Structure 1
Amino acid sequence: MPAKKDIPNILINAALKLAAEKSWHDVSMIDIAQTAGVTLADCHEHCTGKGDLLRRFIHQIDQEVLADLDDADFNEPGHDRLMAVIMARFDALADYRPALQSIIAARGDLGPSDSLRAIKTHFGSMRWMLEAAGFKTSGLHGSLRVVGLTAIYARTFQQWLGDDSTDFSPTMAYLDRELSKAAGYDRKVEKGLGKAFKLCGKISEKRRRFSAKASENSANTEPADIRQ
């Protein structure tokens, strides 16, 4: 019996091995437990199901990409940094392509609740990839960046899954085009939000002055006996 601390990783590896061999839809938790060499009770203790194992796998990939970051990369332009981070992610996923093709074909075999958790997980991953490339992800602008990169990554991921080249140059070219287009939208959003914040600031200041003036006028018009 493997050490309990190792069981989650063993389950993930077993699940991906089975996904590479047959349809992900046909992979059961019993199959995963038997392949991992653990009991079904151990599976229950360490994960909530197949969707949970996929989320843990995505977290592992996040960790691997972030651990390989080089401080020197932050001296490069943002576009180049983000390109490098996303391609590093694909490099980390390369050994699992057959399994991922099976999982994507079955759309993850996720129910409604697991689908919502998967979306949240992907948003979290893309937020970290943006931060790793030096982009701010806080506030409304940052949230829009996360949503935008999530959509770009999903399309590029599909391109990568079908890319039979030895160096994934078609995937790199596709990602380069998508990020270049997104950069133009990002600048427009930044400019538009800047104008909107300034306008909101002016409106708030006018409202504050109006309220202060109204309070002053109300105090000056009170009956003399009340003021005394």
Structure 2
Amino acid sequence: MPAKKDPQTRLIDAAMDLAAAGRWHDVTMIDIAQSAGIDIGVAFDHFKSKADILRQFVRRIDRIVLADLDPADFNEPGHDRLIAVMMARFDALAPYRPALRSIVASGGDLGPADTLRAIKTHFGSMRWMLDASGFTTGGLHGSLRVAGMGTIYARCFKQWLVDETADFGPTMAALDRALARGSEWDKRIGTGISRLSRACGKIQKKCDRFAQKCRRADHAEQTSPSAENNSTVP
């Protein structure tokens, strides 16, 4: 006998089923709880809104992709690893494509605050996908890299939603082209940030030398004979 799913999993599954069966905009939290066979109060303890469910669904996909990583793939070039990771993500999403079409058609049914949280979740996922592909994501360069990956994924996601091929070949081709273009921009940004960092370092050194000269001048003025004579004047 299969293990019984936990309430959170059942609620997410019910939400995806209802989204696939109709308009996501029309689905309520009450509908989801009833479809999952879970008391409404228990549902409230797990999720406060449909947006909460969507964020947890995204994290579920993150876990599926990351858990299936093959350490041997880390020896592959970064571009190839990233394509493999992102296509694995689309494979993980494939069973939910009808639901995702409904959710996208409704704009996720998100309010302003939920939209901001969704963006944060989206970029958090992209950071993990890049990390899993061997790319650094720290600092200014890393943040720009995450933002770029988020844009590429969003565009390829739209392509994937209408891609009816068995292997998602057109989606993979679009991803390959986008990542190739993104790689060129990534190199330019990296070069620009390095130059900016060197320039800032030179400016900082000049400022430090100027500050040191000022301190020496102040010290010399304070210890000069005229300063000592002035200090004795009543």
- For the criterion TM > 0.5, the same-fold answer is yes
* Residues 152 and 81 of structure 1: CA distance in aligned 2, closer, same or farther (over 3 Å): same
SS in 2 for 1:221: helix
Q: Specify which of 223, 228, 231 is matched with residue 224 of structure 1.
A: 228
Q: CA deviation at 1:224?
A: 2.5
Q: CA deviation at 1:43?
A: 1.0
Q: CA RMSD in A?
A: 1.6
Give 5+ residue unaligned stretches, structure 1.
none
Correspondence for 1:109:
109
Query: What's the % identity of the aligned pairs?
Result: 57
* Residues 227 and 79 of structure 1: CA distance in aligned 2, closer, same or farther (over 3 Å): farther
Give 5+ residue unaligned stretches, structure 2.
none
What TM-score, normalized to structure 2?
A: 0.94
* Residues 220 and 100 of structure 1: CA distance in aligned 2, closer, same or farther (over 3 Å): same
Correspondence for 1:121:
121
Correspondence for 2:203:
203
Larger Rg: 2
Correspondence for 1:22:
22
Q: CA deviation at 1:20?
A: 0.3
- How many Å separate the matches in 1 of 2:23 and 2:144? 35
Correspondence for 2:181:
181
Correspondence for 1:214:
214
Correspondence for 2:95:
95
- C-alpha deviations, 1:101-120, integer Å up to 9, x for none? 00000010011111111000
- How many Å separate the matches in 2 of 1:142 and 1:23? 37
- How many Å separate the matches in 2 of 1:15 and 1:88? 23
- Kindly report structure 1 stretches of 4+ aligned residues shifted beyond 3 Å: 225-228
Q: CA deviation at 1:225?
A: 4.3
Kindly tell me the number of residue pairs found equivalent between the two proteins.
226
1:31-70 aligned at under 5 Å gives the runs 31-70=31-70
- How many Å separate the matches in 1 of 2:229 and 2:158? 79
The range that moved more, 179-188 or 215-224, is: 215-224
What TM-score, normalized to structure 1?
A: 0.96
Correspondence for 1:149:
149
SS in 1 for 2:38: coil
- How many Å separate the matches in 1 of 2:90 and 2:155? 13
